[in-house]
Amino acid sequence: MKKALLTSLVFFAVIICVTGVSPAQTDHPFKAAGDSAHELAGSVDDPAVSGQAGENTGYDEEYDDEDYLSEEGETGVAVSDPLRHWNILMYHFNDRLYFWFLKPISQGYKDVVPEKIRKGIWNFFTNLESPVLFVNCLLQGKGTDAEATFARFLVNTTIGVAGFGDPAGDIPKLKKTDEDLGQTFGYWGIGDGWYLILPVFGPSTIRDAAGMAGDMFLKPTYYIQSVEVPMALGFLETINSTSFRIGDYETIKDAALDPYEALRDGYLQYRKNKVSH
Amino acid sequence: MKLNAWAVVLTICWIGALPVWAAAPMEELKGPIDQVVRILQDPKYQDKSQSEAQRTELMAVINGIFDFQEISKRTIGRRWKSFDQKQQREFQETFADFLGYTYYQKVRDAYQGEKVVFLSQEVLENGNAVVKTNIPRKQGQIPLDYRMINKKEGWRIYDVIIEGVSLVKNYRTQFNTILGKETPDQLISRLKQKIQEQKQGSSS
Domain architecture of chain B: domains with CATH: 5-199 (3.10.450.710)
Return phi, psi of residue A25, to 5°.
-75, -35
pLDDT of B1: 53
Q: How far apart are CA A249 and CA A245, in angstroms?
A: 8
- Per CB-CB distance under 8 Å, the chain A contacts of B130 are 63
In the predicted structure, residue A12 carries a pLDDT above the cut 70: no
Q: How far apart are CA B190 and CA B182, in angstroms?
A: 10
Beta bridge partners of B147: B130, B159
Residue of chain B nearest A78, judged by CA positions = B173
Helices B85-110 and B184-203, axial angle in degrees (round to 10)? 30
Q: Which residues of A touch B163 (CB under 8 A)?
A: 270, 273
Q: Buried b / exposed e across A171-200, counting CB within 10 Å, b at 16+?
A: eeebebbebbbbbbbbbbbbbbbbbbbeee
pLDDT in tens, A115-154: 999 999 999 999 999 999 999 999 998 888 898 998 899 8
Cα–Cα distance for residue pair A13/B125, rounded to 1 Å: 38
Give the CA count within 13 Å in the CB-facing half-sphere of B81.
7
Nearest residue on chain A to B138, alpha-carbon basis: A244
The closest CB to that of A69, out of B78, B109, B177, belongs to: B78
Q: How far apart are CA A144 and CA A275, in angstroms?
A: 17
Classify residue B11 by burial, with Cβ atoms within 10 Å: 0-12, 13-18, 19+: exposed
Angle between helices B68-76 and B85-110 (to 10 degrees): 110
Closest chain B residue by Cα to residue A61: B124
pLDDT bin (cut points 50, 70, 90) of residue A171 is: confident
Angle at A8 (CA atoms; ends A7, A14), nearest 5 degrees: 90
Continuous H helices in chain B: 2-21, 25-41, 51-65, 68-76, 85-110, 167-179, 184-203
Please classify residue A27 by burial: count the beta carbons closer than 10 Å to its beta carbon, then call 0-12 exposed, 13-18 middle and 19+ buried.
exposed
- Quick one: average pLDDT of B115-143? 88
Is A65 close to B147, i.e. CB distance below 8 A? Answer: yes
Query: Domain segments of chain A: what residues?
Result: 79-276
Whether A63 has a pLDDT exceeding 80, the answer reads no
Q: Does residue B23 sit in helix, strand or coil?
A: coil
Rounded-to-integer distance, Cα B133 and Cα B138, Å = 17
pLDDT band (50, 70, 90) for residue A20: very low
Helices in A129-258 by DSSP H: which ranges? 130-139, 143-158, 181-187, 206-216, 228-245, 248-254
Distance CA(A57)–CA(A37), nearest Å, equals: 11
Question: Does A255 contact B77 at a Cβ distance shorter than 8 Å?
Answer: no
Substitution target in A88, A178, A261, A268 with the highest count of B β-carbons within 10 Å is: A261
ipTM of the complex: 0.82
Position A160 confidence tier, pLDDT thresholds 50, 70, 90: confident
Confidence (pLDDT) at A37: 36
**C-beta atoms of A270 and B140 within 8 A:** no
Per-residue pLDDT, A193:
86
| pLDDT tens-digit map of A259-271 | 999 999 999 999 9
Sign of CA dihedral A263, A177, B130, B63: positive
A190 within 8 A of A29, measured Cβ to Cβ? yes
In chain B, the residue whose alpha carbon lies closest to the alpha carbon of A177 is B140
| Interface mutation vs chain B, best among A258, A267, A271, most B CBs within 10 Å | A258
Cα separation, B87 vs B191, in Å, equals 13
Instruction: Reduce the DSSP state of residue B46 to 3 states and report it.
Output: coil
- Environment class of residue A80 by beta-carbon count within 10 Å: exposed (0-12), middle (13-18) or buried (19+)? middle
Which phi and psi (to 5°) does residue A190 adopt? -85, 130
Write out the residues of chain B at the interface with chain A, using a CB-CB cutoff of 8 A.
Answer: 73-74, 77-79, 102-103, 106, 109-110, 124-126, 128, 130, 138-140, 147, 159, 163-166, 168-178, 190-191, 194, 198, 201
| Residue A110: other Cβ atoms inside 10 A | 17
The number of residues making up chain B comes to 204
- The span from the first CA to the last CA of chain B, in angstroms, equals 74
Tell me the sheet residues that pair with A263: none
Q: In sequence order, what DSSP letters do the residues of A54-101 get, joined into one string? A: HGGGGS-GGG--GGGGSHHHHH-SSS--TTHHHHHHHHHHHHHIIIII
Question: Using the 8-state DSSP alphabet, how is residue B22 labeled?
Answer: S
Phi, psi of B124 (to 5 degrees): -85, 170
Indicate if the pLDDT at residue A249 is higher than 80. yes
- pLDDT for A167 beyond 90: no
Instruction: Tell me the pTM.
Output: 0.77
Determine whether the interchain pair A269/B169 forms a contact, defined as Cβ–Cβ distance below 8 Å: yes
Q: With 60 as the cut, is the pLDDT of residue A60 above it?
A: no
Residues whose CB falls within 8 Å of the CB of residue A106, separated by 6 or more in sequence, listed in order: A239, A242, A243, A246
CA distance B81 to chain A (A): 11
Q: What is the pLDDT of residue A198?
A: 94
Distance linking the first and last C-alpha atoms of chain A: 29
The answer to whether B100 and B55 are in contact (CB under 8 A) is yes
CA A242, CA A185: separation in Å to the nearest integer? 27
